[in-house]
């Protein structure tokens, strides 16, 4: 069977959860990366059975998650983590959650994966029109929503089996104007799409790994509700 790592699962409402379920139904072993500040709620809800109904697979069994890794995809390695985050209560309780460390942990625990899914995005100023967006807000959107994919792929490539596949999720706002999708999020998706072409070329040639992005339709996930979509 195949093994998949899905980054960006913190509840049962988003694309990451739905993709995990489809892969599990197809027989894959599921590992997830959960944003550090959301980890406790996700794990305790899972343990308390809050997701049991939505864990049901077509054959009637419940989706299992082999391991949940804390992850913050805006930090590549421990040297990049600023002091205020390191000492933050929500972060201090977890360890090894930078991208590089998560890839190392997955390697230690499982050796390799076949499928890498990036289902995460964040834009602190998403509710502001692009014209009102600050430099920091714009760069934060690109860091969390675009570079996070480059970083994940870069660090996971050595443990993705040849012939493996990698996927991210994009949105039509990269190509057409969608008022309300601000803060540089439209720019972040445009970067993600362009990077997908370049990364497909590079990772395909060098490592025989496919790289794709799916432009998903509107879904009332936690992220979408937060911007009133």
> Which stretch in 104-112, 159-167, 201-209, 211-219 sits in contact with ligand NAD by CB under 6 A?
211-219
**Nearer CB in complex with ligand NAD: 144/160:** 144
- Which residues touch 76 (CB under 8 Å, ≥6 apart)? 98, 99, 100, 151, 155
Q: Evaluate whether 153 touches 167 at the Cβ level (below 8 Å).
A: no
**Nearer CB in complex with ligand NAD: 6/160:** 6
Catalytic residue among 15, 138, 147, 181: 181
User: How many residues in the shown chain lie near ligand NAD by CB under 6 A?
Assistant: 27
> Which stretch in 20-28, 56-64, 129-137, 220-228 sits in contact with ligand NAD by CB under 6 A?
220-228
Say whether residue 86 binds ligand NAD (CB under 6 A).
no
CA–CA dist 214, 81 (Å, integer): 30
Footprint (CB under 6 A) of ligand NAD, residues 166-195:
169, 171
Among 121, 141, 157, 191, binds ligand NAD (CB under 6 A): 121
SS3 sequence, 150-214?
HHHHHHHHHHEEEEEEEEEEECHHHCCCCCCCCCCHHHHHHHHHHHHHHHHHHHHHHHCCEEEEE
> Which stretch in 70-78, 82-90, 105-113, 151-159 sits in contact with ligand NAD by CB under 6 A?
70-78
Q: Is 149 a catalytic residue?
A: no
CA–CA dist 30, 61 (Å, integer): 14
Say whether residue 74 binds ligand NAD (CB under 6 A).
yes
Q: Evaluate whether 192 touches 149 at the Cβ level (below 8 Å).
A: yes
Adjacency order of strands within the sheet including 160-170: 67-71, 29-35, 3-7, 113-118, 160-170, 210-215
Say whether residue 102 binds ligand NAD (CB under 6 A).
no
**Nearer CB in complex with ligand NAD: 46/229:** 229
Q: Is 69 a catalytic residue?
A: no
Among 3, 5, 6, 10, binds ligand NAD (CB under 6 A): 10
CA–CA dist 229, 222 (Å, integer): 10
Residue 156 CB, shortest distance to ligand NAD, in Å, is 14
**Site of interaction with ligand NAD (CB under 6 A):** 8, 10, 13-16, 35, 38, 71-74, 119-122, 144, 169, 171, 216, 218-219, 221-224, 229
């Amino acid at each position: 069977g195949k093994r998949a790592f899905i980054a960006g699962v913190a509840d049962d409402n988003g694309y990451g959860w739905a993709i995990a379920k489809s892969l599990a139904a197809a027989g894959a072993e599921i590992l997830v990366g959960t944003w550090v500040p959301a980890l406790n709620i996700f794990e305790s809800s899972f343990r308390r059975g809050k997701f049991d109904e939505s864990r049901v697979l077509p054959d009637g069994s419940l989706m299992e998650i082999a391991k949940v890794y804390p992850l913050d995809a805006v930090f590549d390695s421990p040297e990049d983590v600023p002091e205020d985050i390191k000492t933050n209560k929500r972060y201090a309780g977890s360890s090894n959650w930078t991208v590089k460390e998560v890839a190392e942990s997955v390697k230690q625990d499982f050796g390799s994966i076949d499928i890498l899914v990036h289902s995460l995005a964040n834009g602190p100023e998403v509710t502001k029109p692009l014209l009102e967006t600050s430099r920091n807000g714009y760069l934060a959107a690109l860091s969390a929503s675009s570079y996070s994919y480059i970083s994940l792929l870069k660090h996971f490539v050595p443990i993705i089996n040849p012939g493996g596949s990698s996927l991210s999720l994009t949105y039509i706002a990269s190509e057409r104007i969608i008022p309300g999708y601000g803060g540089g999020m439209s720019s972040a998706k445009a970067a993600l799409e362009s990077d997908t072409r370049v990364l497909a070329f590079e990772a395909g040639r060098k490592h025989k790994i496919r790289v794709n992005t799916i432009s998903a339709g509107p879904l009332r996930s936690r992220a979408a509700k937060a911007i009133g979509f």
